[in-house]
Amino acid sequence: MSGATGRLDRTARVHVAGHRGLVGSAVVRELRREGFGDLLLRTSGELDLRDREAVRALYAAERPAVVILAAARVGGIAANAARPVDFLSDNLRIQLNVLDAAREYGVGRLLLLGSSCIYPKHAPQPIPESALLTGPLEPTNDAYAIAKIAGIVHIQAVRRQYGLPYISAMPTNLYGPHDNTDPRTSHVLPAILRRTHEAQLRSAPSITHWGSGTPRREFLHADDLARACLFLLERYDGDDPVNVGTGEDLALSELAELVAGVVGYRGTITWDTTKPDGTPRKLLDVTRISALGWKPETSLRDGIEETYAWLKTVTTPVG
């Protein structure tokens, strides 16, 4: 810890990069709830974070004091496997541009959000932060993982070379309102939720999900991550990334049954084993953030119910 920790000035200008995404929108809600009144927000149409000079111009003009880097090109297993170049190139550029501009224009505190996919495919379970770079990555998302690992190392390098109190956090699988629910590009929970919702609307007798259903995953509501972001900015100042999760996981087959119960779907659930499973298990060791005094507030069922209520307002059945 250092003098960088402590209650953030609620009048400080905070740039939330990626504020319209699942995580960014949750962060904005949390900051406003906590009394932050000077939020610097730009849509991707107003500011392409891949454009180095555009990012520098924004920071030169607006001089944010705090940055939460939630912007990223993200997607599920199918999207990562199909477009690895996009996931590598876009995420590297976003991170480089924001981190360099932040350092150049005097940002005092910065939090970079990564992903639990940075850890080796066969990391010990639960996965401690020390597992980083100790083994091969999951091949279906290695390009995205490498980009996020580069972001962590960039944070560590800035701390070492410039002494700036920038930090990084690695959330587990996220979900919540405003998530991407496109079955072709979304992550597993929103994909299962949308598929089940549409099967219910069509009274389909059965539904098929990807893989075997045996992989185990941990899920964190985006609002809990948003609370963790502010918590870490005020309580943590260290070189190592910090895992953010619930410390609990379940098999995807169990998740599918839970989602079906929330939706009210009573058909048969089957699994397409010709599709990849990805990492067998991915449960984060949350000892570090727990020791600081943080814990999640949203149960998985409550979070899925909230997400489903939102989903029903924004989707129509696919014919």
* Residue 19 marked as a ligand binder: yes
Question: Cis bond leading into 126, ω under 30°?
Answer: yes
* Residue 32 marked as a ligand binder: no
Active-site residue, from 59, 119, 144, 166: 144
* Closest residue by Cα to residue 54 from 63, 65, 46, 64: 46
- Rounded to an integer, what distance in angstroms lies between the CA atom of residue 119 and that of residue 202? 39
Q: Are 108 and 265 in contact (CB under 8 A)?
A: no
State the amino acid at position 262 in one-letter form: V
* Residue 210 marked as a ligand binder: yes
* Residue 246 marked as a ligand binder: no
* Residue 114 marked as a ligand binder: yes
Dihedral (Cα; 83, 89, 90, 92), 10-degree rounding: 140
* Residue 301 marked as a ligand binder: no
* Closest residue by Cα to residue 8 from 237, 190, 201: 237
Radius of gyration of the chain measured on its C-alpha atoms: 19
59 is catalytic: no
* Residue 307 marked as a ligand binder: no
* Residue 217 marked as a ligand binder: yes
Please list the residues that pair with 265 across neighbouring strands. Answer: none
Q: Are 20 and 177 in contact (CB under 8 A)?
A: no
* Residue 271 marked as a ligand binder: no
* Residue 238 marked as a ligand binder: no
State the amino acid at position 13 in one-letter form: R
* Residue 115 marked as a ligand binder: yes
- Rounded to an integer, what distance in angstroms lies between the CA atom of residue 171 and that of residue 191? 19
Give the residue ranges of the annotated binding site: 18-24, 113-116, 148, 171-174, 187, 195, 210, 217, 277
Give the residue ranges of the annotated binding site for substrate: 195, 210, 217, 277
Give the residue ranges of the annotated binding site for NADP(+): 18-24, 113-116, 148, 171-174, 187
| Active site residues per annotation | 144
